[in-house]
Amino acid sequence: MNLLQPDASLRRRQALDRLFVALLVASAASGVVVLLLVLGYVIWRGAPALNPAFFTQRPLPYGEPGGGVAPAILGTLTMLAVASAIGIPIGIGAAVYLSEYGRGSFANVVRFVIDLLAGLPSIVVGVFVWALVVRQLVGNYSGIAGAVALAIIMIPIVTRTVEEILHLVPTTLREASLALGVPRWRTILFVVLPTARAGIITGVVLSLARAGGETAPLLLTALGNQFFSFDLTQPMAALPVQIYNYAVSPYEDWHTKAWGSALVLIGVIGTLSLVTRLAARGRTGR
Amino acid sequence: MVRHSEFTPSGDARSALAEPEPLGVRGHAMRTAQLSAWYGAQQAIDGISLPIAPNRITAIIGPSGCGKSTFIRCLNRMHEVTPGSPRVNGHVYLDEQEIYAPGVDPVRVRRLIGMVFQKPNPFPAMSIADNVVAGWRLVGGYRQKNLDEVVERCLREAALWDEVKDKLHQSGASLSGGQQQRLCIARALAVEPEVLLMDEPCSALDPVATFKIEDLMLRLKERYTIAIVTHNMQQAARISDYTAFLLAGDDRVGRLVEYGPTSEVFTNPRDRRAEDYITGRFG
Ligand SMILES: Nc1ncnc2c1ncn2[C@@H]1O[C@H](COP(=O)(O)OP(=O)(O)OP(=O)(O)O)[C@@H](O)[C@H]1O
Ligand SMILES: [Mg+2]
């Protein structure tokens, strides 16, 4: 008798095996297909709006030919930069606290609050910042209010992803450093964080992408602006707000511009992620 | 630098904790008194009182799970940074100075009492060379030192230089397990500790590398005080001057069962359980 003779059960197993692999490939492919559909449709509708002026000029009133979304691009970048300066250090700091020191009940409270914050609808963040910053602190719609709203949206995303990543850094590495007589804070700064660098970048990129696309809170805080303005205390343009304004208009030409702006927004966020990742990689490749 | 290898009674040994002194002039003695340790509610070791003689190798042997790693980690205050609600009770002295005394900085204790872990743990994000001098780089204040010289000297001492001298800038994680362990030994030597604790440093090594490490330890004891955990009876017999045997009872709490000069413990153990373990009848 041949011990290695294939039998019925083997054939069934192989068939099942192929079925499961096919299912996995199908789910992976459907993810890609959805993305390509969205991207393709936006390109198809938005590409006609793109020309050099679209990237360099300010929006013009309806009827005047030309005009672009340059203030919105710059406004989005400005507010994202300010929001990152506020939100990323706080987010990473909170994550380090939770992962490296967070044992007691205070840490559990922080974790709970961060989770609540992550689940908070962004319009609520917008209303809150409107009440606090727009009405009380600055006195009018302003770029800084928009940046604060975006920072509040970024903090929980950064904190949760970075905390998870820091948990993945092996305890043995912390021990190796501590056993060399390295203080705790230096161990975190120079061993734990560099080891988790790739994951931290992912968290930062995710939060940037999410904040870059927020519309509702910006309508209530930064408001939007048809002119070039870098004054953080004044209303500031932003791509999502620009898309919204173009899209709700009754004009066919502006609808095309809305699609074009959407395409630009995808491009801006894609570029940001790419630049962040490349910058992070460049720093270690010595 | 003059280095004495004579046995010095611990009483007149100079204090390493009190003030920094020229390194390696004389080995420092350690001693534990009624040392107990817990993980949460579960006690791991109970009332261990053990001398660790200066410029000698003290081997700690015993069956798996009897608390050898726990004990040795209490000696440089690494137990308290272990996950799992660690707790220590009792005394550990370095030159008759209590390392658990209030006001004693655990960072300084760990700088003086170096450690090599059971599992090799090089820093994966650092090159081989950076791993060796990680202690200096991470702490800072090394500017007066020639780090390249330190890298070569410590890698040579750890019997790794010839294998890695052409790839010092590759990642520490690119080495084999045994090479990683020797890298960790080099890293521990680089910060010039006074006492070296080794937790089964050879468990991942082949006989040749094991021999190199043993040879290294025999040379190092001229300068350092060494405590080594080992599962290898022959190794304990070959290199150690004193042997301590730990054993956990039915309550899973490790206690010191036998301690003495290695020759006596191995030829004429007083405790029957130690005799059984050493002759291979259990454990
Ligand atoms: N982090 C931890 N949390 C909880 N219990 C632990 C922890 N580490 C060790 N223990 C327990 O403490 C006891 C002693 O463990 P220890 O690691 O000191 O043993 P060991 O003698 O070094 O064993 P081995 O020879 O296998 O390394 C064991 O019962 C173990 O389960
Ligand atoms: Mg152990």
Chain B contacts of A183, Cβ < 8 Å? 107, 139
Q: What is the pLDDT of residues B20-65, one digit of tens each?
A: 444 444 678 999 999 999 999 999 999 999 999 999 999 999 999 9
**Minimal CA separation from A182 to chain B, in Å:** 6
B119 touches chain A (CB under 8 A): yes
Domain A71-239 has CATH 1.10.3720.10: yes
For residue B125, give the nearest of A182, A184, A195 by CB distance: A195
- Best mutation site among B38, B43, B46, B70 for ligand 1, i.e. most ligand atoms within 8 A of its Cβ? B70
Considering chain B, what is the average pLDDT of its residues?
87
Choose between B203 and B255: higher pLDDT: B255
For residue B282, the model assigns a pLDDT of 62
For residue A5, the model assigns a pLDDT of 79
User: With a 6 A CB cut-off, is B66 part of the ligand 1 pocket?
Assistant: yes
Mutate to test the interface with A, among B72, B80, B121, B168 (most CBs of A within 10 A): B121
Band the pLDDT of B14: cuts 50, 70, 90.
very low
Terminal C-alpha separation, chain A: 62
Kindly tell me the sign of the dihedral angle through the C-alpha atoms of B15, B17, B20, B22: positive
**CA–CA separation, B170 vs A83, rounded Å?**
38
**pLDDT over threshold 90, residue B238:** yes
CB within 8 Å: B125 and A182 = no
| Span B10-278 CATH architecture | 3-Layer(aba) Sandwich (3.40)
Instruction: Note down pLDDT in tens along chain A; length 286 residues.
Output: 677 877 778 888 999 999 999 999 999 999 999 999 999 999 999 999 999 999 999 999 888 888 899 999 999 999 999 999 999 999 999 999 999 988 888 999 999 999 999 999 999 999 999 999 999 998 899 999 999 999 999 999 999 999 999 999 999 999 999 999 999 999 999 999 999 998 999 899 999 999 999 999 999 999 999 999 989 999 999 999 999 999 999 999 999 999 999 999 999 999 999 998 888 776 554 3
Reported ipTM exceeds the 0.90 cut: no
Chain A contacts of B81, Cβ < 8 Å? 174-175, 178
- Determine if residue B192 is left, alpha or beta; phi over 0 gives left, psi from -120 to 50 gives alpha, anything else beta: left
**CA–CA separation, B70 vs B59, rounded Å?**
15
CB atoms within 10 A of CB A150: 32
User: With a 6 A CB cut-off, is B52 part of the ligand 1 pocket?
Assistant: no
* Domain chopping of chain A, boundaries: 71-239
User: With a 6 A CB cut-off, is B85 part of the ligand 1 pocket?
Assistant: no
**Minimal CA separation from A185 to chain B, in Å:** 10
Chain B contacts of A180, Cβ < 8 Å? 110-111, 114, 134-135, 138-139, 187-188, 191
